[in-house]
Structure 1
């Protein structure tokens, strides 16, 4: 009997995210910046907490426009610290802004941030075949490499575990369980994935 991955916790918001977004290969920089910001905010919190604040983040962080976020100043940090629609942690707010500036540097260097990320996978998603949640790793060689390089570039709140969650979300790896209907769907999307720079 097929069933969705157990981490959805029967929450409608989680289930919708699982069924429509999680594991779908993505080469869109706007989405990459959104998830970089959200995943970094998640550190120490549940992903469901962040999903519930997603709209708040979208409004607070200029519709996830890295060029606009990169221009946020100290006064904006103070404003954001009082915003209950996001995680009001100064370090996380400041890192979202500094990460936006570094995101733009990578865009300039590689043509797009997505192209930088996909270069670690030769532009093809990894298809995993997990039978149970216990088999799914928290990190991978790729997440170790990427997080190490991003840390060297100055990115914050993006260690290997957060990076791997990002890789799962944006379809670099298909970590849906074999029993989940989305495994086959994402495998098909991965097979046909051709990033826009090819």
Structure 2
């Protein structure tokens, strides 16, 4: 499916059709480059939590995720223990999935360890494709390689489809469809 024209006359990627949180995310954030360890860890964590759920669910819960995960400060999350996991399992404002919460802690620890080799941002960007895709996809050779690379570094819940979504979200390449008003604006 190609881009669609909204009731406001603007052509967008089809998932950003009507007014609301998804359109706002599409128009102002999705596909824009982010910088810094906490920005990368936040997006990686939220993409993992989104797995099997709608992205609008995650966007609506993002303020609570930021609060309970200390604005995605890797060292703070890396220090979480079993009591913190139980506290988060009882937190109704976030997605309460033990495997995903434990993966967030594991990934924070792996992020801290990755600092010795340039850090999470540089590592993810090293897998950037040479050009942006023109057609929608759910994974790529680069997302498969990123997934394998992160797993070797101790990360969890970083499958190729989740890593493709991460690469789209943080502007590793331009994810907007040809014809979308955002295409080429990153």
TM-score normalised by the chain length of structure 2: 0.90
Moved over 6 A (4+): none
What residue number does 2:122 align with?
A: 115
Which secondary structure state, in structure 1, belongs to the residue aligned with residue 23 of structure 2?
A: helix
- Given candidates 46, 49, 54, the residue that maps to 2:54 is 46
**Structure 1's 29 and 126: CA in aligned 2 closer, same or farther, altered over 3 A?**
farther
Measured after TM superposition, the shift of residue 56 of structure 1 is 0.8
Of stretches 17-26 and 6-15 in structure 1, the one that deviates more from structure 2 is 6-15
Runs of at least 5 residues in structure 1 that lack an aligned partner in the other structure: 187-198
Measured after TM superposition, the shift of residue 48 of structure 1 is 1.1
Measured after TM superposition, the shift of residue 73 of structure 1 is 0.7
| Residue pair 2:127, 2:143 contacting (<8 A) in 1 also | no
TM-score normalised by the chain length of structure 1: 0.84
Distance in 1, matches of 2:48 and 2:100, equals 7
What residue number does 2:131 align with?
A: 126
What residue number does 1:189 align with?
A: none
Which secondary structure state, in structure 2, belongs to the residue aligned with residue 177 of structure 1?
A: coil
Distance in 1, matches of 2:17 and 2:83, equals 38
| Residue pair 1:34, 1:64 contacting (<8 A) in 2 also | yes
Measured after TM superposition, the shift of residue 11 of structure 1 is 4.3
Point out the structure with the larger helix share.
1
**Structure 1's 69 and 166: CA in aligned 2 closer, same or farther, altered over 3 A?**
same
Of stretches 2-11 and 76-85 in structure 1, the one that deviates more from structure 2 is 2-11
What residue number does 1:61 align with?
A: 69
CA RMSD, 1 decimal: 1.6
**What count of residue pairs does the alignment treat as equivalent?**
178
Measured after TM superposition, the shift of residue 25 of structure 1 is 2.1
Which secondary structure state, in structure 2, belongs to the residue aligned with residue 77 of structure 1?
A: helix
| Residue pair 2:74, 2:112 contacting (<8 A) in 1 also | yes
| 2:36 is the counterpart of 1:31 | no
Runs of at least 5 residues in structure 2 that lack an aligned partner in the other structure: none
Give a deviation string over 1:114-156, Cα, whole Å, max 9, x none.
11111223xx87333x3xxxx3110011000010111222211
What residue number does 1:160 align with?
A: 160
| 2:104 is the counterpart of 1:99 | no
| 2:124 is the counterpart of 1:136 | no
